[in-house]
């Protein structure tokens, strides 16, 4: 049943006034048979129950929708948090890997600066007591292999 709320409001307001428009108290009797019949028809128990049911439904729907949205947003927030934690862990792993590679490059640089450059300079200057460069190259290979093995075990 559809309730015409505007009509009900107008009839209810009409029941509170006399023919001249003056307000009536609750004890005064109305002598407007047509207005009374229309008002009583609109305020029958079934009409009142239908109106109350409609009001309850309208009050319930926004709350239900809001709860659904809140639950959805909470779930999305949890997804974002877990994703953020995964990315933070990846960042930490990459920082550690970067630091290990920096250390390995530092060791390689030490081998190049401390041994290989000197050996190459001695060869270029035709010195007779040239060191074996292959041993230094083997040291560099060991440093690289250790860094790569460490990286492979983390990846």
Tell whether 27 and 48 lie within a shared domain. no
DSSP type of residue 30: P
Cα(8)–Cα(44) distance, integer angstroms: 11
Tell whether 103 and 119 lie within a shared domain. yes
Tell whether 23 and 50 lie within a shared domain. no
- Residues in a beta bridge with 23: 17
Kindly report the pTM of this predicted structure: 0.44
- Residues in a beta bridge with 17: 23
Cα(84)–Cα(44) distance, integer angstroms: 60
What pLDDT digit, counting tens, does each position of 10-55 carry? 777 776 666 666 676 655 555 556 666 676 776 776 677 777 778 8
DSSP type of residue 8: H
Tell whether 8 and 54 lie within a shared domain. no
Q: What is the pLDDT of residue 37?
A: 67
Domain residue limits at 32: 1-43
Q: What is the pLDDT of residue 18?
A: 64
What pLDDT digit, counting tens, does each position of 46-102 carry? 677 777 778 877 777 777 888 888 999 999 999 999 999 999 999 999 999 899 888
Cα(24)–Cα(27) distance, integer angstroms: 8
Cα(12)–Cα(10) distance, integer angstroms: 5
- 145 has a pLDDT exceeding 80: yes
């Amino acid at each position: 049943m559809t309730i015409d709320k505007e009509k009900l409001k107008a009839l209810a307001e009409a029941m509170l006034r006399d023919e001249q428009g003056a307000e009536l108290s609750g004890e005064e009797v109305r002598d407007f048979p047509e207005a009374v019949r229309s008002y009583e028809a609109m305020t029958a128990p079934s009409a009142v129950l239908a109106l109350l049911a409609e009001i309850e439904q309208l009050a319930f729907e926004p709350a239900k929708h809001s709860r659904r949205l809140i639950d959805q947003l909470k779930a999305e927030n949890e997804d974002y948090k877990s994703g953020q934690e995964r990315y933070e862990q990846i960042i930490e792993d990459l920082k550690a890997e970067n630091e290990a590679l920096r250390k390995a490059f530092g060791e390689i640089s030490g081998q190049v600066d401390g041994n290989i450059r000197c050996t190459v300079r001695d060869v270029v200057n035709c010195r007779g007591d040239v060191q074996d460069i292959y041993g230094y190259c083997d040291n560099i290979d060991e440093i690289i292999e250790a860094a790569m093995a460490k990286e492979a075990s983390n990846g």
